[in-house]
Structure 1
Amino acid sequence: MLFADMLTRTPISTPLNVWLLQALEHSGLSQSALAERLDAVVQKKVDRSTINKMVLGKRSISAEELLRISEITGFDVPGEAPLTPTIAIAGKVGAGAQVPVFDVYPKGAGPQVECPPGLSPHGVVAVQIEGDSMEPVFSAGDLLFYTRHTHEGVPADVVGHRCVVEDEDGMGWVKQVKAGDEPGLFHLISLNPGANTMWNKRLRWAARVRLHWPAELARTV
């Protein structure tokens, strides 16, 4: 079944925790065995307690997890499961104030947000704006979605664009990235005209902002 097809189905009465119990029985896998195999293929951290909470109905099952569980157990996905793809929120970033960045690349256990319409969830991570130093471009609580094509370094194609970056001190920022005065150095241009530019900074990584999603539209799961 195509993932896109699954997303168009309407809800059914069978709870997903019941479906999970059926999938475990069908496969003969223990909760621990399923947790180990699922943890290797999904973005969020999964252990036995995670599976147990799913079985008890105390934790939701994301669209990605549902699809992977079906693949692992060989048990069909519910024909009309209410699925919405989700994206991990890596942490928070600032503009005028330093904010330690917590990056989940490639795996994280942070909260999830429903994927905005028109954006593929594959390889995409979100960060949340902290503070009002990016007004009027971005507001506190807004989400920025990005994709890191390399784990380290600054790809040439992000220079000149608004990016989520992590500096050498582990601080996260949203800035326009421009080439610095020497190779390996970058000027970080503030989005707020009243804020100071950060000159000749070394960066651990930078990723271009793909989408800005206002806080009032974001739905965490």
Structure 2
Amino acid sequence: MGEILQRIQQRGKEIGLSEQALSKEAGLSKDGIRNWRRRFQAGDESAGANVTSISKVAAALGVSELWLLYGVEEDQPRPTVAIAGAVGAGAMVPVFDAYEKGDGPQVECPPQLSPHGIVAVEVQGDSMEPIYSAGDLLFYTRETPDGVPAEAIGHRCVCEDVNGMGWVKQVRSGSERGLFNLISLNPGADNQHDVQLKWAARVRMHLPADMARRA
């Protein structure tokens, strides 16, 4: 979002359009873009922007959505994200390239995300139905190489246990410090209790298998 705001500022100066005037032209509230900037500076990575509002701002600036999102033109290839491997949603799946090595297959980065620091994994199994199905892609960012951050607790996460198995589960605190319960969404699937995890990262975005554009 920081890069998008920089491009908004750059293009606005080129055409002599203030943020307030641009917000009005794009059909946002008069402080719409200023509020994006404030929220981003406060730590909100998306700043409350969505695909529709980004499209309207791009039109008001006279630029393509692709340029506003990524700084590239329509005839240039879209940025891609590495598919790091697979995670089990019921199936036991070894993690084989779990952290931003980028050597695996690639998928086009969804326009809602910046490709920087993002990793994708493919779901195997059905324990997270009806939300995540086999073959779907999940996008996440690991803020730290190890450990389970407090903000991950209670949320759907990509994680790796001490045995090297990768999972997508809702992560909850276990019976003791350092232990975690891995909860399935499918009522017919098993949960795992008091599991030791190497790391966990919240799922930032889910892309159904039929919507993924592999490079």
Instruction: Tell me the TM-score normalised to structure 1 length.
Output: 0.64
- For residues 196-215 of structure 1, the aligned pairs below 5 Å read 196-215=190-209
**How many angstroms apart in 1 are the aligned matches of 2:110 and 2:147?**
28
1:97 lines up with 2:91 in the alignment: yes
Call closer, same or farther: CA 1:122–1:192 in 2, change over 3 Å.
same
CA distance in 2, matches of 1:87, 1:4: 18
- Would the aligned equivalents of 2:155 and 2:202 in 1 still touch at CA under 8 Å? yes
User: CA offset at residue 103 of structure 1?
Assistant: 2.9
Structure 1 partner of 2:158:
164
Count of residue pairs the alignment pairs up: 149
Compute the RMSD of aligned alpha carbons. 1.7
Equivalent residue for 2:73?
9
In structure 1, list runs of 5 or more residues that go unmatched: 12-81
2:81 — aligned with what?
Answer: 87
Structure 1's consecutive aligned runs of 4 or more residues displaced over 3 angstroms after TM superposition are 3-8
Percent identity between matched residues is 64
Amino acid at match of 2:158: V
Change (3 A) 1:10 1:182: closer
Query: In the alignment, is residue 121 of structure 1 matched against residue 115 of structure 2?
Result: yes
Distance 1:165 1:104 in 2: 9
* Residue of structure 2 equivalent to 1:110: 104
Residues 112 and 203 of structure 1: is their aligned pair in 2 closer, same or farther, counting only changes over 3 Å? same
Unaligned runs of 5+ in 2: 1-66
TM value normalised by structure 2: 0.65
Given that 1:185 and 1:203 are in contact with CA atoms closer than 8 Å, whether structure 2 keeps it comes out as yes
Matched residues in 1 for 2:86 and 2:119: separation? Answer: 12
Instruction: Assess, with a 3 A threshold, how the Cα gap between structure 1 residues 195 and 157 changes in structure 2: closer, same or farther.
Output: same
Residues 202 and 139 (structure 1 numbering): CA distance in 2 closer, same or farther, change over 3 Å? Answer: same
Assess if the C-alpha contact under 8 Å between 2:128 and 2:169 holds in 1.
no
Offset, 1:97? 1.7
